[in-house]
């Protein structure tokens, strides 16, 4: 049953993405965003946009891709087993290596 649910969700997402037609959009050059930053209106639009809109291109997609960590925070995986100490094998001869750069 779980596989059917996953398939249904995947099919829905793909259908939504395919339904999003790429139209000619007025796009701001990325250099402008780098020099001037993102306007507040664009950030607010990106926060309220759905996934197909964020992936369809245009200025909202640029904002999403620049700041994806705000939308998709990195997962923190809990440690399930105790940690092990690393072995210690000093090699003093490596400290004597000299190279020209």
The residues, any chain, with a CB within 8 Å of residue 50's CB and separated by 6 or more, are 16
10 falls within a domain: no
23 falls within a domain: no
Q: How many domains does the chain have?
A: 1
63 falls within a domain: yes
Please write the tens of the pLDDT for every residue from 17-67: 554 444 445 778 878 888 888 899 988 998 888 888 888 878 888 888 887
Looking at residue 58, what is its pLDDT?
A: 82
Instruction: Determine the structural domain holding residue 38 and report its residue range.
Output: 29-73
44 falls within a domain: yes
59 falls within a domain: yes
5 falls within a domain: no
87 falls within a domain: no
Give the integer Cα–Cα distance in Å for 18 and 12.
10
pLDDT band at 12 (very low <50, low <70, confident <90, very high): low
Looking at the predicted structure, is the pLDDT value of residue 82 above 60? yes
3 falls within a domain: no
Looking at residue 22, what is its pLDDT?
A: 46
């Amino acid at each position: 049953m779980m596989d059917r649910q996953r398939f249904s969700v995947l099919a829905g997402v793909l259908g939504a993405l395919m339904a999003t037609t790429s139209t000619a959009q007025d796009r701001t050059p990325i250099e402008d965003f780098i020099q001037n930053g993102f306007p507040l209106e664009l950030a607010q639009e990106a926060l309220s946009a759905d996934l197909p809109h964020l992936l369809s291109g245009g200025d909202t997609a640029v904002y999403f891709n620049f700041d994806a960590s705000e939308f998709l925070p990195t997962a923190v995986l809990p440690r399930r087993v105790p940690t092990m100490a690393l072995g210690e094998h000093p090699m003093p001869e490596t400290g004597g290596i000299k190279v020209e750069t």
